Amino acid sequence: MRRRQQRGTAWRVLPDDGQREPRRNLARDESLARCADGSPTLRLWRSDRCVVLGRAQLAEAEVDTRACRDLDVPVLRRFSGGGAVYHDPGNLNVTLVVGREHPLIRARADRGLLPGLYDAVLEPLVVAMGRFGVAAVANDRGVWIGERKVSGAAAWLGPRALLVHATLLVEADLRALERVLAGPGAPDDPRWQRTRSRRAPVTSLAREGILPSDAAALETAIVTAFTGGRTAPGSLTAEERTMAERLFVQRYARPAWHATGETPRGGETGQPVGS
């Protein structure tokens, strides 16, 4: 049964559940958007190492296929837009799902569109890191420490709800990241010109020497920055679990999806967008 939207109610927080299989995690993220009723949800999660492409990207242009093979890094695809990212357990993913009528979105005229929507996830990350002395700024569709990027965002715009998710490089393997994301590009392909990743030098909290001694403390600070402490214990609903399993079978377990972004039968609604 779908949860009723209640404006002003506490945020539902889905903490990291220890699930590291990336295909399952991608299915769960999409299920939150597909089943959204407008109530605010915040999810924290991590995956085993992989590359995750934006919905419309060309895999052969974005990744170094030999490096992915040598490092045993699968190349997967999410349902939102944006550029290619590297995941491993040292990367914390933060997903925000909120109704279009929620005060967070209505507070600013540009929040229901891009790039304004990115700020809904990037600005709280800056606040959370600031509590540990991190001098970070949110701009150009990411979070930066000096000249290096530590977080990036992508989004999906649905008819009733919006999903925006971001990576946060806490202590990720940056050498592996740089190797697998060193794709050759495809200058003569118009699709690549439209969907190419915005490559930038990256860093992590660990590389900057500002990693909190207690990993849970960082996650708590992130939850507080998003919710103001107004949270309710949360878990996936039966509807979301069913949707996640269906998406996994129809989409994320299928090599054709990850290779091409082919849409399963039945169509879909919502617009995948990102940086």
For each successive 10 residues of the chain (275 residues), what is the average pLDDT? Answer: 50 95 98 93 98 96 98 98 96 96 86 90 96 91 96 94 96 98 95 93 94 84 93 91 97 96 59 46
Dihedral pair phi/psi, residue 196, rounded to 5°: -60, 145
pLDDT at 233: 77
Q: Structure pTM?
A: 0.91
pLDDT at 3: 44
**DSSP symbols for 156-222:** EE-SSEEEEEEEEESS--HHHHHHHT-----TT-HHHHHH------B--TTTTT---SSHHHHHHHH
Domains within the chain, CATH numbers bracketed: 11-251 (3.30.930.10)
Please, where are the H alpha helices in the chain?
Answer: 22-34, 59-62, 65-70, 103-106, 119-130, 174-180, 190-195, 215-227, 238-247, 255-260
